[in-house]
Structure 1
Amino acid sequence: MVRQHAKETTWTVSIANVQPGDRVLEIGFGAGKAIQLLEKKATHGFVYGIDLSATMVKRAKERNARAVRTGRVTLQQGEAAHLPFEEHHFDKVVSIHTFYWWSEDPYIFLTEVFRVLKPGGTLLFTFSHGKMGEERDYYDQAFIEEQILTLMKNIGFTAVSFRPGPISRQFKHIAVLGTKPSAS
């Protein structure tokens, strides 16, 4: 999976705008490649990850052993619908290829992310929305704009947008971004 998703993982981390002091959460980190890339950007910050699979937690801890030992990376098993973090904890929340599992009820996922983001914090999630050469995308632009972006705005996200991403293995990718408003 690391090699298979390398292109969109690298691209997602490159547009996440992670700053050296950021506290970053990755939801559904798999084997931990994005965790590794995020940790290199958050040089004075911390990277956390949550994944449903005990096997993936083990693999990601192996891949990121040094950073886990030093306490700069914390990886645990858990669900995106019930994030085990306090409110206003993260500057960035990133998720790659998890949309498919929470898309049946994105409200739960998005409200949990909104809760744990700091004011001014950003959510960025990337997913495949279609395949080259196919007549119709799995998730077309109307679905993304009318369903996902509208829901994010209703929850309270601002600066909600999407950005076309790389084509990898014939699949088209897209990133959706939203910001939690800063406290007034």
Structure 2
Amino acid sequence: MAKEDQYRNPQGDEGRKVIEEMNEHHRELTSWGLGQISAIEGLRPKKILDIGCGGGNCLRMLTTRYPNAHADGIDISEEAVKVTLDRNAVYHSWGKIDAQVASVSDLPFPEKSFDLVTAIETYFFWPDLEKDLAHAASRLKEGGVMLIVSEQYPNGKNDEALKEACLKYGMNILPNEEVASLMEKAGLKTQTFTNEDKNWVAFVGVRQ
């Protein structure tokens, strides 16, 4: 498997290396993204889902921020799930974190199961963004929050380079207003936050 494909679905020893790289590379981005929901009044999640959990870094941060919560992770990569559970073995043994192989298109949880759903650096790999957003939103309780974070968005200056990156890695990075519109269509009242210096974006949607 080419290394470019490992970012979509890490496999084997090479995939594990990519997962560890992403854990470190996305640490600051993840912290910034989670910071965008910290001011939401009354957000004290008891049930959390992280879609595309990768190496489990976000799950660990979520468990630290919300110690009374149980956090589930899903990923299409079996290797990513193994790394997540290895990395968070203590939290897993305590019943605070779990992870399994699954797709955003077929989430193995009932509707209205979660108070918070997160997706860090993954929406652009989802097979059908409109349908998958609606599917994920349906797993939120009323008043639940969805956080989607990306380290890239089209800003009018990077569009050509971003287009080349999308072709190389099989991504579909949309303009911010299009992502927000799809979240609204899924029943989420959505705000968009950006870090223009780093070209990061966070979409925060609340289920109505």
TM-score interval (norm. to shorter): 0.7 to 0.9
1:16 alignment counterpart: 37
2:135 alignment counterpart: 112
Q: Which stretch of structure 1 is more off in the superposition, 78-87 or 13-22?
A: 13-22
Segments of 5+ residues of structure 1 without an aligned counterpart are none
Name the CA distance, whole Å, in 1 between partners of 2:100 and 2:25: 23
SS of equivalent residue, structure 2 residue 80: helix
1:1-184 to 2 correspondences below 5 Å: 1-17=22-38, 19-102=43-126, 105-130=128-153, 134-136=157-159, 138=162, 143-145=175-177, 147-158=178-189, 160-165=190-195, 172-181=199-208
Deviation of 1:105 (Å): 2.3
Give the structure with the higher percent strand: 1
TM-score (norm 2): 0.75
- 1:59-91 residue CA offsets vs partner (Å, 9 max, x unmatched): 110110011111111111100011110111111
Give the number of equivalent residue pairs: 173
The verdict on how the C-alpha distance between 1:21 and 1:108 changes in structure 2, with shifts beyond 3 A counting, is closer
Deviation of 1:20 (Å): 5.0
SS of equivalent residue, structure 1 residue 87: coil
Deviation of 1:157 (Å): 1.3
Q: Identity percentage over the alignment?
A: 26
- CA RMSD, Structure 1 to Structure 2 (Å): 2.4
Give the structure with the higher percent helix: 2
Name the CA distance, whole Å, in 1 between partners of 2:152 and 2:106: 26
Deviation of 1:153 (Å): 1.8
Deviation of 1:21 (Å): 4.7
8 Å contact from structure 2 (residues 153, 176) kept in 1 = no
SS of equivalent residue, structure 1 residue 110: helix
Name the CA distance, whole Å, in 2 between partners of 1:133 and 1:110: 25
Deviation of 1:22 (Å): 2.4
TM-score (norm 1): 0.84
Q: Which stretch of structure 1 is more off in the superposition, 127-136 or 53-62?
A: 127-136
- 1:137-184 residue CA offsets vs partner (Å, 9 max, x unmatched): 749xx9321x222222222112x11100375xxx52100111101xxx
SS of equivalent residue, structure 1 residue 2: helix
The verdict on how the C-alpha distance between 1:70 and 1:153 changes in structure 2, with shifts beyond 3 A counting, is same
The ranges of structure 1 where at least 4 consecutive aligned residues each deviate by more than 6 angstroms after the TM superposition are none
8 Å contact from structure 2 (residues 114, 141) kept in 1 = yes
8 Å contact from structure 2 (residues 72, 99) kept in 1 = yes
8 Å contact from structure 2 (residues 36, 202) kept in 1 = no
8 Å contact from structure 2 (residues 49, 72) kept in 1 = yes
Segments of 5+ residues of structure 2 without an aligned counterpart are 1-21, 164-173
8 Å contact from structure 1 (residues 12, 126) kept in 2 = yes
